[in-house]
Structure 1
Amino acid sequence: MAEITSELLIKRLAEWGVDTIFGIPGDGINGIMEGLRRHADKVKFVLVHHEEAAAFMACAHAKATGRIGVCLATSGPGGIHLANGLYDAKLDHVPVLAITGLQESSVLGTGYQQEVALDRLYEDVTEYNQVVMNPAQMPALVDVAIRTAYARRGVAHLTFPNDIQIAPAGEDPYQTVAPVRPPSTAPIYVDPMVWPRDGDLRRAADVLNAGTKIAILAGIGARGAGRWVEQAAEKLGAPIVKSLLGKMVVPDDSPYTTGGLGLLGTKPSEELMEEADTLLMLGTNFPYTKFLPEPGKARVVQVEIDPARAGTRTPTEVPLVGDVGATLERLLPLLDVKDHAFLGKYQEKTRDWREAMTALESADRDPIAPQYLAHELDVQAADDAILTCDSGTIATWAARHWQIRGRREFYLSGTLATMAPGLPYAIGIQHAHPGRQVIAFVGDGGFAMLMAEFHTAMRYGLPIKVVINNNNALGQILWEQMVLGYPEHGVRFGEPLPDYAAWARGCGGFGVHVNKPGDLPGALQEALAHPGPALLDVAVNPDEPPLPGKVSYDQAKKFAEAWLHGQPRKASIASTLFKDKIQQLKG
């Protein structure tokens, strides 16, 4: 059987260490599917139910392993469906390669069926974007695409016309200006270790040594450098605030951390940013600038691997371009040892905050408090569990009640903050880490969007656990409407209630619905112990507000206005708020 160009594609991906491609077949990629069939021993094709999920799985695979994630879609609508997951990879700076099909080169530009110029559609989302028009371009374009995705921490895209996919391998139908040279037989990308110049390190140390109230803000770019981050905190007497993506940089029980920042963060973290006179930003391009110190109030040192991002969020006196770990290793000897009075103040504030959060985790509240659900999951999950999460109120409960300890990890759509990735993230990560406990902690709104992928987990024997925080509403938008001073509108799903547990059982998995707090611990224990995919659908209090760590006067005023303008469930919401306060006082 003659070798076709698609085989060169698959073999080269395998040489780069790619062992899995997530996607859906279609007539625009039949040639690539044949290449996969012929080399199924080298690269596994994971069939999903929606291309968006395939892109999320590739993104999650890259986040959890550091290796490039690969997704595949047919021409036209298939490629369009990939876009949301690809933007997730772009905005969270992870390497993903998207492969798509295209109509035969002879009909391009004629308005042929499903003809979409995916290369032009992807111009904004990609770091590298190429239409393959000659078999002789293989495998060099694969090399360039993957190296670019790694080097620029983003998305690369290759799209193949149908006729090129099945053309004889190595064919060069056009007269070439230069002979095609074979690429390296052993492709490799070496991630450079970068650290700042000595003079810049000295300037940064001078700023930090002059500070008296120093705060550290750590993001996902500091992952793997936790011990150096804590050493900096110890030496500077500086509390550590974590971005949501950076939640796993240091453990949540670290004596240095005050927790997260922003709407999903903690009151001590917000107060720290208001008081600090010096801020050390490590591996974060934190976008919510209203939670950072006011310009001019604090001197800022930022460690950032991308020179283009250094200093983009807040006036930065000393931008340090480099890897966080390598930079801190060289910066630490230059730092003065400070007393811990300021750190001690925020350690006490953090203890008080944690007591208030613990009070909300009561098993006595009926309907089930989402804080109790998140806490019970935290208690029962393994110390090396990986939690994936959706956007919305679910992220608030995970941020505050899921504790990073041991080898635990935490993933969600960070900057894009899209709905629906929790389930496909779990599948992509479970595939990469078959021996780990992987839990998708999702809302009912996000789960419903891509719930068919639970069947994907069943087909491939991936023992993911799905825990649905079911408030039968788009909870985050509900509360945002009220904070804006509007009565809620269009955010509650109402009757009839879908039976997600029945869907799980229909797929052949474990599925249980829980609506009483007393039933939750046992049901969760059973779900986590189940050897295959399991789903726990938990009806939680729909009127539990995901309040900011520190409620501003303007937020309270707008909330009151919405109340007066006819909030339809104000009695139930008032009761929940009252119970929250009583629990905190009791705690």
Structure 2
Amino acid sequence: METVSEIIVDALVKAGAKRCYGIVGDTINHFTSAVRQSKLEWVHVRHEEVGALAAGGESYLSGELSVCAGTAGPGSLHFLNGIFESHRNGAPVLLIATRIDRAEQGLGFPQDVDQIKLYEQCAVFCETLSDPEQARRIVSQAAQAALNHRGVAVVEVSGDIFKTKIKDSIPWAVHRPQWLARPTDEELDALAEKLNQAGKIVIYGGIGCRFAHDAVVKLGQQLAAPIVHTTRSKEYLEYDNPCNVGMNGILGNPAGYRAVQTCDLLLCLGNDFAYTQFYPEKATIIQVDIAASHLGRRTPIHMGLVGDVGATIEALLPRLKDRSDNAFLQDLLSRYQKDLEQLEERGHEPDPKLIHPQYVAQALDKLASDEAAFTADGGSPMVWLLRHLRANGKRSFLTSLSHGTMANAYPQGLGMAKADPNRQVIAMCGDGGMTMLMGDLLTLVQEKIPLKLLVFNNHSLGFVEMEQRIEGLLDSYTDLQNPDFSRMAEVIGIPGEKVEKAGDLEDAMKRWLAVKGPALLDVTVNRLELVMPPEVTAQQVSSTALFGLKAILNGRADEVVDLLKDNFLR
């Protein structure tokens, strides 16, 4: 006879889980006791949201199952935002969300929460373990769903069930079949006909191209088609790609944006990019996706096919004619080269009076390992990662692009560093994101996690401030009164250093990266840095001018001068 706790932990280990993130207490005490006696490592975080983000970071990087566990009511609820983030990133995480004992449920007992209603909207599997005999079966099914659907699974367990002893006689297990899917021959023939007859073709690759780099590049070369990638697929399509012309979208570059807007046929491969305004209005749009529910949900399409990107391309290539006319591709490659040169210029020639965040990102790109894993907080650090860090086929990038949360960077980095402690893992943190979940810096020390923290310190919620100004508003409630992060880190037990002059940055960054354990680099960056979109509209210009007028009328003319000088007169 075994306890349900022991059975659950054994099922998790057999599913490949190596770690469980959480905070111990009441309804999970028997579960954590079973963890202590198993191969599953308990990672003691200071806030459950950090635990969920860390588990998501680990699973996103490894592709394997990670686990979180929370106490009844507040404990399990604190995971919610991190679980949403991990689910939307496609990370296979399993949450054990506990509830008060069954005898007290439905009677208004303290901390009683029906968590299924909350978590079912951010999970591929969400069930209550209602009978002890279900323990191995339910947990195995949850792990199988998380791994095969690449998302979060939630199992709700009442505290009293954990200590129940049962005979665990049926060997329920987790299955991870390998399979490929592609459109029918008739559909592929129809797709090939459209591609063979089309004029200017652009391939728009998304996260579905994760394992299909070579196939996508081969297709681009055969069609003489520029390849544009979404922000989430930068890691997988940017490198070793002679057809790459960059990104589309508000964070993209002019060549990527122009390619999508001027093509005759847009072939979307594994692309679920959400912003309809960045799709072309007149082009023929064809979409290939592994999920039929994704077809046509972002923009109207002329043809939708279900299939794995790599398998679909391999079956499509023999049906296509080679193209000799590559003028469209060459024009956009030339434009993309100019985009790269302009990005380089924005971080070049450091101003002795301030540090531009682009300069920081470019220094990091140069000094970080070729195999580094990077995370970035939602907001401007995410922009500097996407625009200034180079993908090379060995680096990994994780940002909050689908959920858009604050304070994701170093918690996700925590899990990534746990998953691979020998790999250089770097979190690009905003000062707002850092201070939102600052308590788990203590976890880095206690768990000896060698994460490198780079703080872009502009004393403001910079991305929000920019949004307000672009809409013609005076920025409001965005000021941040920050501590000296480097001194704070030292007090906690993390080596810290502060940089306020551009000339000091590279040496400080080299020292920071050389530290064997966790380390923090606090860099004071220009507050008045705009994130320029790939195409500036007349509305944006007029709105920014309106901000300038309001600022002058409110005695803030010096800010307007600095804004113009730092962004338009450089």
**TM-score calculated relative to the size of structure 1:** 0.93
Whether 1:290 and 2:277 are equivalent positions in the alignment is yes
Alignment of structure 1 residues 531-542 onto 2, 5 Å: 531-542=516-527
Q: Deviations over 1:551-585 (max 9, x none)?
A: 111111111112212266553343343344444xx
Partner residue in 2 for 1:352 = 338
Q: In 1, distance between residues paired with 2:285 and 2:65?
A: 33
Partner residue in 2 for 1:182 = 170
Partner residue in 1 for 2:445 = 458
Q: Which moved more, 1:382-391 or 1:258-267?
A: 258-267
Q: Deviations over 1:364-407 (max 9, x none)?
A: 21310000000000000111111111100111111111111241
Q: CA deviation at 1:253?
A: 6.5
Residue identity matched to 1:397: W
Partner residue in 1 for 2:550 = 565
Whether 1:116 and 2:101 are equivalent positions in the alignment is no
Q: Deviations over 1:394-423 (max 9, x none)?
A: 111111111112411111112111111100
Whether 1:135 and 2:132 are equivalent positions in the alignment is yes
Counterpart pick for 1:82 among 76, 79, 84: 79
Q: In 2, distance between residues paired with 1:574 and 1:288?
A: 33
Counterpart pick for 1:381 among 338, 352, 368: 368
Q: In 2, distance between residues paired with 1:469 and 1:83?
A: 27
Q: In 1, distance between residues paired with 2:429 and 2:180?
A: 36
Q: Deviations over 1:487-507 (max 9, x none)?
A: 1111111x4x31211222122
- The question of whether the paired residues in 2 share the 8 Å contact of 1:6 and 1:165 is answered with yes
Partner residue in 2 for 1:47 = 44
Counterpart pick for 1:223 among 180, 189, 210: 210
Q: CA deviation at 1:189?
A: 1.6
Q: CA deviation at 1:93?
A: 3.0
Q: In 2, distance between residues paired with 1:29 and 1:98?
A: 12
Alignment of structure 1 residues 122-161 onto 2, 5 Å: 122-161=119-158
Partner residue in 2 for 1:59 = 56
Q: In 2, distance between residues paired with 1:399 and 1:565?
A: 32
Q: In 1, distance between residues paired with 2:240 and 2:559?
A: 34
Q: In 2, distance between residues paired with 1:78 and 1:210?
A: 58
Whether 1:19 and 2:18 are equivalent positions in the alignment is yes
Q: CA deviation at 1:433?
A: 1.6
Whether 1:204 and 2:180 are equivalent positions in the alignment is no
Partner residue in 1 for 2:531 = 546
Name the SS for the 2:157 alignment partner: strand
Counterpart pick for 1:267 among 222, 229, 254: 254
Whether 1:241 and 2:241 are equivalent positions in the alignment is no
Q: CA deviation at 1:254?
A: 3.4
Q: In 2, distance between residues paired with 1:29 and 1:105?
A: 14
Partner residue in 2 for 1:280 = 267
Q: In 1, distance between residues paired with 2:445 and 2:183?
A: 48
Q: CA deviation at 1:156?
A: 1.3
Q: Deviations over 1:320-341 (max 9, x none)?
A: 2111111111112222222211
Q: In 1, distance between residues paired with 2:196 and 2:357?
A: 43
Name the SS for the 1:158 alignment partner: strand
Alignment of structure 1 residues 186-585 onto 2, 5 Å: 187-252=174-239, 254-294=241-281, 297-338=282-323, 339-365=325-351, 366-493=353-480, 495=481, 497-566=482-551, 569-583=556-570
- The question of whether the paired residues in 1 share the 8 Å contact of 2:92 and 2:146 is answered with yes
Whether 1:170 and 2:164 are equivalent positions in the alignment is no
Q: CA deviation at 1:69?
A: 2.5
Residue identity matched to 1:347: L
Label 1:466 to 1:363 Cα distance change in 2 as closer, same or farther (>3 A).
Answer: farther
Q: CA deviation at 1:455?
A: 2.1
Residue identity matched to 1:298: A
Partner residue in 2 for 1:174 = none
Structure 1 segments of 4+ aligned residues over 6 angstroms from their partners: none
Q: In 1, distance between residues paired with 2:448 and 2:538?
A: 51
- The question of whether the paired residues in 2 share the 8 Å contact of 1:423 and 1:450 is answered with no
Q: Deviations over 1:418-471 (max 9, x none)?
A: 111100111111111222111001111111111222221222222111111111
Residue identity matched to 1:46: V
**TM-score calculated relative to the size of structure 2:** 0.96
Q: In 2, distance between residues paired with 1:330 and 1:81?
A: 46
Q: In 1, distance between residues paired with 2:292 and 2:150?
A: 13
Name the SS for the 2:90 alignment partner: coil
- The question of whether the paired residues in 2 share the 8 Å contact of 1:423 and 1:451 is answered with no
Residue identity matched to 2:246: G
Q: In 1, distance between residues paired with 2:180 and 2:213?
A: 17
Q: Deviations over 1:161-213 (max 9, x none)?
A: 11101111338xxxxxxxxx6134x5332142212211111111122222221
Q: In 2, distance between residues paired with 1:332 and 1:506?
A: 60
Q: Percent identity?
A: 35
Name the SS for the 1:196 alignment partner: coil
Q: In 1, distance between residues paired with 2:347 and 2:557?
A: 23
- The question of whether the paired residues in 1 share the 8 Å contact of 2:217 and 2:242 is answered with no
Q: In 2, distance between residues paired with 1:570 and 1:9?
A: 63
Name the SS for the 2:156 alignment partner: strand
Q: Which moved more, 1:324-333 or 1:537-546?
A: 324-333
Partner residue in 2 for 1:32 = 31
Name the SS for the 2:487 alignment partner: helix
- The question of whether the paired residues in 2 share the 8 Å contact of 1:458 and 1:508 is answered with yes
Q: In 1, distance between residues paired with 2:6 and 2:235?
A: 40
Partner residue in 1 for 2:88 = 91
Count residues in correspondence.
566
Name the SS for the 1:124 alignment partner: helix
Q: Deviations over 1:352-374 (max 9, x none)?
A: 11111111112421310000000
- The question of whether the paired residues in 1 share the 8 Å contact of 2:239 and 2:393 is answered with no
Q: In 1, distance between residues paired with 2:475 and 2:362?
A: 28
- The question of whether the paired residues in 2 share the 8 Å contact of 1:423 and 1:453 is answered with no
Name the SS for the 1:337 alignment partner: coil
Name the SS for the 2:496 alignment partner: strand
- The question of whether the paired residues in 1 share the 8 Å contact of 2:143 and 2:174 is answered with no
Q: CA deviation at 1:150?
A: 2.8
Q: Which moved more, 1:563-572 or 1:152-161?
A: 563-572
Gaps of at least 5 residues in structure 1 are 172-180
- The question of whether the paired residues in 1 share the 8 Å contact of 2:238 and 2:246 is answered with no
Label 1:421 to 1:96 Cα distance change in 2 as closer, same or farther (>3 A).
Answer: same
Name the SS for the 1:188 alignment partner: coil
Counterpart pick for 1:70 among 67, 71, 74: 67
- The question of whether the paired residues in 1 share the 8 Å contact of 2:15 and 2:65 is answered with no
Residue identity matched to 2:327: A
- The question of whether the paired residues in 1 share the 8 Å contact of 2:105 and 2:112 is answered with yes
- The question of whether the paired residues in 2 share the 8 Å contact of 1:216 and 1:279 is answered with yes
Q: Which moved more, 1:254-263 or 1:9-18?
A: 254-263
Q: CA deviation at 1:529?
A: 0.7
Q: In 2, distance between residues paired with 1:478 and 1:337?
A: 49
